[in-house]
Amino acid sequence: MWDKLPPDIQKQVEKGITILKQGGIVAFPTDTVYGLGAWAGNQQAVERVYQVKERPQNIALPLLLARTSQISEVAELVPQIAWLLADKFLPGGLTLVLPRANSVPDIVTAGGVTVAVRIPAHPVPVALVEGLGAPIIGTSANLSGKPSALTADDVYSQFGDKIDLVIDGGRCPGGRESTIVDVTGETPVVLREGAIALTELEQVCKII
């Protein structure tokens, strides 16, 4: 994937993959807002994401994947409605909350029984996941309670040198965080409306 990126972005992505493998933290553009990523399987790296974001560790972190087929690797059960929503909206601005698989570390889910997953419609985070060969944390690159970052400068202004790399991919095209839908029950529940409107979701299924 990253070999199809512009040369300057490709170099940044390759550096980012190396940093992720070493347990570092990388900020990157997505189709919604800038994200803050770390190797989800590296506990120290995930702890550092909580620290730099000033995020309470009782609030779970979402995962970014490269392909919809990877959803079943991090979810214990993927109901049919989840596949329908994924088929319609992923890659894109939809985050699905699913029953977590045992392979997902407790620190990612804040000890809970669910996991939030998304496949971005942006080549940079997809290339990072593919290059690492594992899911990455995909939380927004902003201090908790602060506005979402839409440019690399926005990320720098909030974090400075507290993170290891900011991949500058220009301004994010979306500007709104993803819509979060819990599909663990009989009827999907919208936990946050964002990039995908409720009316779009209702064309696929009944929601609460």
pLDDT tens digits for range 81-98: 999 999 999 999 999 999
pLDDT for 1 beyond 60: no
pLDDT on residue 126: 97
pLDDT for 3 beyond 70: no
What residue type is assigned to position 96 of the chain? L
Query: Measured between alpha carbons, how far is 189 from 154 in angstroms, rounded to an integer?
Result: 31
Residues 2-177: name the CATH superfamily: DHBP synthase (3.90.870.10)
pLDDT on residue 151: 97
User: Which H or E run contains 116?
Assistant: strand 114-118
Q: Count of H helices and E strands in the chain?
A: 8, 10
pLDDT tens digits for range 138-154: 999 999 999 999 999 99
Domain locations in the chain?
2-177
Cβ count within 10 A of residue 59: 12
